[in-house]
Amino acid sequence: MKLWPLVLLPFACYYQHPLLFSLRHVESLLLWVLPLLGLLCWRRLPGSARVLLAGVGLLLSGQAIEYRLQREGVLAAGPAMQALGRHFVVGYTDIDEVRELAAKGLIGGIYVGRRNVSGRSLPEVRDEIAGLQALRAQVGLPPLIVAADQEGGRVNHLSPLLERLPPLADVSDQPDPGLAAQAYGARQGGALAGLGVTLNFGPVVDLRPPGRAAGDRFSDIPARAIGSNPEGVAEVAAGYLDGLAASGVRGTLKHFPGLGRVSQDTHLRPARLSESPADLAADWLPFRTLAGHAGSALMLGHVTLEALDPQHAASHSPAVVSLLRGDWGYDGVLVTDDLNMGAVYNFGIGRIASEALTAGVDLVLVSYDPRQIYRALYGAATALAEGRLPVSRLQDSTRRLEKLRRFSAAPGV
């Protein structure tokens, strides 16, 4: 018991880590109150416990000061920070906080998830989103991209507020899967548009693996994938995208370069694919077939494609973006998976955000722990100021984002 401050060290090292977000309400109590109690009995503590307690205090103070300075730097809302903000989509738990970010032009979109709709009525959520859009119009900024993750089946984050639909894979057994998928997409898209959503993070076009990997705790691609036949997956996904588009909702092909062969769960740790692009041709067929589809964006997963770029996950890899923009001729919107995920966060969320934008990604997603937006934006702003993030890259990206907004304003095109 004399070394009880040792228990606090891991929490101090990972203070405000996104994977501890669900404990945030007790994290500060544990990390600040207990050391303060220790100070009250400082003279009775052995020397080793005093050293540990001092280490915990220094770690906490350093991280708290750094975070506060970065947050203040972002909220100062200089021109460079605003130029970067349009490329970030953020989740939220505090409407006043996200309202400030939206009004100052420090974000380009919001992510609406389960916590935003739980226990609330559809009019309440719809009016909240509409209020944010009205605020943007008042300050002369473009409408927010409003993103959601409503795949159907296992992932229905806006249900029961919106109708809970079965997995999209169920339409594969219909006589005309493409037509059935279009009806499914139209049904879901109408509900999403009625709430104010403009971008849905679906369909999952990773090919279905034969079983769930031992290291997969959260992704569960076998339950979420449309199927294992690439042509069939492409047909269903195309119909689904057309159905969404009828209501002005754009879909998102995910998670390139594919999670079907991945054994690790990117929510928790890095994952790698050792196969060559030739080996992955079938896995990529749905992505490549639909990459130019008017109704789709494309999400980059946190998987390292060793044959192209062993140093970066696809979400911030120049080589992967070059493959898509160059070899495939894809000029649509690229969005990262959530940068709060363990596969990339521990490398520094500011660094990953800046590298993603430098590589040519258009939207950086910070959803699970919304307050990481300050670290991410600050890191990107530092890269811009130091010349590591070219202004021309942001200008090209802004053009693609404008096309996305025009699509949402003109349903059915």
- Sheet strand arrangement including 145-148: 199-200, 145-148, 109-111, 88-91, 364-366
Alpha carbon of 10 to those of 42, 52, 129: distances in Å? Answer: 21, 11, 38
Contact 168, 202 (CB under 8 A): yes
Closest CA to 292 of 259, 338, 324: 324
Which residue among 206, 242, 265, 337 is the active-site one?
337
Strands 150-152 and 251-256: unpaired
Give CA–CA dist 288/283, Å, rounded: 9
What residue spans of 256-360 are helical by DSSP H?
A: 281-290, 318-322, 342-345, 349-359
DSSP SS3 for 5: helix
**Would you give the DSSP letter of residue 291?**
T
Is 331 labeled as catalytic in the residue annotation? Answer: no
Strands (E), 265-354: 271-273, 296-300, 303-305, 334-336
* Element (DSSP H or E) covering residue 219: none
**Among residues 267, 302, 312, 316, which one is catalytic?**
267
| The total number of residues written for the chain in this structure | 413
Contact (CB, 8 A) for 342 and 269? yes
Which of 181, 296, 297 is CA-nearest to residue 232?
181
The C-alpha atoms of residue 111 and residue 248 are separated, in whole angstroms, by 17
How do 150-152 and 155-156 pair as beta strands? Answer: antiparallel
> Is position 283 annotated as part of the catalytic site?
no
List b or e across 296-335, with b for residues whose CB sees 16 or more CB atoms inside 10 angstroms. Answer: bbbbbbbbbbebbbeebbbbbbbebbebbbeeeebebbbb
Q: What is the DSSP code string of 362-381?
A: -BEEE-SSGGGHHHHHHHHH
Could you list the active site residues?
267, 337
